Amino acid sequence: MSKKKIIIAAIILIVSIVLALATAIYRSQKAFRCDYDGTRIIPIYEVDIMLKEGKFMRFCSIYCARAWFQGNASRVDAVLVTDEITGEKLDADIAFFVESDVVTVKATQNRIHVFKDKTHALSHARQYNGKLVDNPFKLANARIQRYPQ
């Protein structure tokens, strides 16, 4: 093989590697965008909604998930929210929600925060002028009653 052919082969190889990488990066970024408004999802604030038809949708914030949920509640099987202290995913039925002055996702101006522990929820509320709010994702078939009357 001549030098020229080797160089051409090398260029083709490099170009195809770069293309493959670019495609992989593009796909992975696309996978982590909000299904409601396309905002990039920050894992600590992610909300996942499982549908009865077996699919699941992911959202960047409580606001987006709630906006989508309001028109589609009958299709929803379960809502998973993220404890913003540990990053742990938990059922919305057992999470604590606090509305405070702190914005989680700038694009949506979401101010509802999710906590697994009531102590964390209350201390966030105390620090940032917040209050406990109801689970925004009330399912008709809710298994657990969150706030005893």
Nearer to Zn ion, 92 or 125 (CB): 92
Q: Which amino acid is located at 106 in the chain?
A: K
Tokens standing for residue 125: 């509320």
CA separation for the pair 57, 50 (Å, rounded): 7
Tokens standing for residue 134: 């109801």
Q: How far is CA 146 from the centre of its chain?
A: 22
CA separation for the pair 137, 97 (Å, rounded): 11
Q: Is 35 in the site for Zn ion (CB under 5 A)?
A: no
Nearer to Zn ion, 40 or 131 (CB): 40
Q: Please state the closest distance from residue 141 (CB atom) to Zn ion, in A.
A: 26
Q: Is 34 in the site for Zn ion (CB under 5 A)?
A: yes
Query: Binding residue for Zn ion (CB under 5 A) from 57, 62, 64, 95?
Result: 64
Q: Is 36 in the site for Zn ion (CB under 5 A)?
A: yes
Using CB under 5 A, list all residues that contact Zn ion. 34, 36-37, 39, 60, 64
